[in-house]
Amino acid sequence: MERKSYPTDLTDMDWEILAPLIPPAKEGGHPPTTDMGEICNAIYFHLKTGCQWNMLPGDFPPRSTVYSYYRKWQGQGVWEKFNHTLGGQVRSKLGKSTQPIALAADSQSVNTDQKKGMCMVLTDVKR
């Protein structure tokens, strides 16, 4: 039976970009039996809707499996890789460098606890 589609589901193009960034299964262990795309879809559903893990719809993989991958990938920096990769592609589509190329620093006094603060702002500079 095919699962219901949700607005948070990855498109085929999204999955094509993200799939190579997911760490491979450990060697010597059992091969994964869960579709990693479905794990991502369940995690994105959770993040977008703000539902509790135990409130994930039943047509996703088991919530304990989804949560386990979420935490494991969090510790491995997978989410940062996703954001970095997707952010670079968005910047590229906008005709910008995939990385910000300029840094502006402003060292003005900030009224916190009588300490001077420094405000740093990343900006885009067209070459």
Are 103 and 110 a contacting pair, CB within 8 Å? no
* CB atoms near residue 39 (< 10 Å): 21
Of the candidates 86, 89, 45, which has an alpha carbon nearest to the alpha carbon of residue 67? Answer: 45
C-beta separation of 63 from 93 below 8 A: no
The model carries a pTM of 0.69
Per-residue pLDDT of the chain (127 residues; tens, 9 = 90+): 578 899 999 989 888 888 999 988 888 878 888 899 999 999 999 999 999 999 999 999 999 999 999 999 999 999 888 888 888 877 778 887 777 666 666 666 555 555 555 555 555 555 4
Please report the pLDDT score of residue 36 as a whole number.
93
38: closest CA among 71, 79, 13, 5? 5
What pLDDT score was predicted for residue 99? 73
Task: Give the closest residue to 39 by CA, choosing from 17, 22, 51.
Answer: 22
Domain parsing of the chain, residue ranges: 37-97
pLDDT score for 117: 53
